[in-house]
Chain A
Amino acid sequence: MSETKVIDACNTYCPGPLMELITYMKQAEVGDVLELLSTDQGTASDVPEWVNKIGHEMVSSEKVGDVWHISVRKAK
């Protein structure tokens, strides 16, 4: 059974949002959706670049207020 896990990486600089996503992606099962919250502007482009290169699936990306909500499904 897949699940959605929210990763709050708002207002963090080190290790940073993408490193947080990679950490939790390793713990996730194939099919799980992870929702990354980030206030870092670069995250909106950094995450899709990594997701596309590694072969996971972008589910959604939207900015609500100052916070990016980026959802990714683990594909392999």
Chain B
Amino acid sequence: MRILIVGGGTGGTIIANNLSRRLDSEIRNKTAKITMLSASELHMYQPGLLYVAFGQMMPDELYRKQATLLESSIEFHVDPVDKFELDRKEVTTKSGKTYGYDILVIATGSRVMPKKIPGLEEGSETFYTEAGAVSMFKKLREFEGGNVGIVVGVPHKCPIAPVEVTFSLHDYFKKRGIRDKVNIKYHYPINRIHSIENVAIWAKPEFDRMGVEYETLFNVDEVDVEKKIVKSMEGSEYKYDLLISIPEHHGMAVIEDNDLGRDGWIPTDRYQLTMEGHDNVYVVGDTTNLPVSKTGSAAHFEAEVISENIASIVKIGVPVTEYDGKVYCFIEAGHDKATYANFNYENPPDLRAANKSMHWFKMSYNKMYWTSVRGLL
């Protein structure tokens, strides 16, 4: 059985390592083979970008060489896929090589699309890329006071990030002793301050306590870079001195180019995690079109289900389990407190008060991630 994993992010890497252990004997007797194709030799811990944006982590702390994260039985190539030919059960890479498969896992992830909004790329800072996070920190460091606006595109990766960056901005300016010179205004696309109702209920009094203003039903339409005004589709506008954006995301271009899914999101069965119409093609993490948070956590729990099912297909011919929508997200509530949201398709998150120990758990997880992605945690 040839298992081909396209993409070396959180989901793809956990699946590869988990499968290599489950299929140890099959790999040894050459009845199973795992191959991974990635666009990069480096693996980035993306949640760390928020810390880079506030000078709390250096960019080089976010990376490991992908090859060092994989079990030795996994064949790994840095050779991004150019063409998916699902009917022929093969892919072609940019280097011109062709890889056949019996089971395919698509784990190509997502990307920010600031160009979708006129003026957003030039007029705002964002922490969703390494260059963006470094630039944002330099702008924050130079900032001496005025209006700071936070705007959020739809859809976006890590739905908790808009809340986290708001808490962090408050703590950062407070630590610098200029909080009284900074007005922070949070803008959100729907009619409460977070999509998870319990997060909105928890965050609202916290925003009030910190003196953070908020406006809901604000979907960014354009940014007037010269006048420093951000305008919403709903007709309101905000004059800023510093604009922080969480841009709209799409799936990767190769998904759109191969007509696998609109805007790069692949139609996926929410329980089996297979591509609609293709039982031998699994989709994981940001790449799916599922109405589930685009987070490393969702990718992790999906990856465990996919690994268990691919292994059982190899061993007994059928899948054995289903994804229940599980997501567990840390929520940093500033620079010394955190809480978490834990939910699935059936149970909404029940939020607890933020505390110091959860913050230190998150700080520890930032290091433990490398164990997690190896499939050991």
Q: Please give the residue numbers on chain A whose beta carbons come within 8 Å of chain B beta carbons, in ascending order.
A: 8-9, 11-20, 22-23, 26-27, 42, 46, 49-50, 53-54
Contact = CB atoms under 8 A, between A and B. Distances in A.
6 contacts: A14-B343, A17-B291, A20-B291, A22-B190, A26-B154, A54-B217
A46 B233 CA distance: 17
Contact of B191 (A12, A27, A49): A49
Contacts of B291: 8-9, 12, 15-17, 20
Contacts of A18: 190-191, 195
B195 A46 contact: no
A54 B232 CA distance: 9
Interface band, chain B: 20 to 34
- Across the A-B interface, give the 6 residue pairs with the lowest CB-CB distance, nearest first: A16-B195, A12-B291, A11-B345, A18-B190, A22-B154, A14-B293
Nearest to A49: B191
Nearest to B248: A26
Contact of A12 (B217, B219, B248, B325): B325
Identify whether the interface residues of A are mostly helix, strand, loop, or mixed.
helix
Nearest to A17: B291
B159 to A, nearest CB: 5
A63 B343 CA distance: 25
A4 to B, nearest CB: 16
Nearest to B199: A14
B155 A14 contact: no
Interface string B342-358: 01011011000000000
A27 B262 CA distance: 8
Contacts of A27: 262-263
B325 A15 contact: no
Contacts of B195: 13-16, 18-19
B217 A23 contact: no
Interface of B: 154-155, 159, 189-191, 195-197, 217, 219, 233-235, 248, 262-263, 291-293, 325, 327, 341, 343, 345-346, 348-349
Nearest to B156: A15
A26 B291 CA distance: 16
Contacts of A26: 154, 248
Nearest to B295: A14
Indicate the member of A9, A11, A49 with the most B CB atoms within 10 Å.
A11
Nearest to A23: B155
A54 B341 CA distance: 30
A16 B349 CA distance: 12
Given A13-B196, A14-B196, A19-B195, A46 B263 contact: no
A54 B219 contact: yes
A27 B325 CA distance: 25
Contacts of A49: 191, 217
B349 A54 contact: no
A15 B188 CA distance: 12
B118 to A, nearest CB: 15
Contacts of A19: 154-155, 159, 189-190, 195
A30 to B, nearest CB: 14
B217 A11 contact: no
A16 B348 contact: no
A27 B346 CA distance: 28
Nearest to B263: A27
A13 B190 contact: no
B344 to A, nearest CB: 9
Contacts of B346: 11
Indicate the member of A17, A18, A19 with the most B CB atoms within 10 Å.
A19
A11 B271 CA distance: 12
B155 to A, nearest CB: 5
Contacts of B327: 14
Given A19-B154, A53-B234, A12 B292 contact: yes
A11 B154 contact: no
Contacts of A53: 217, 234-235
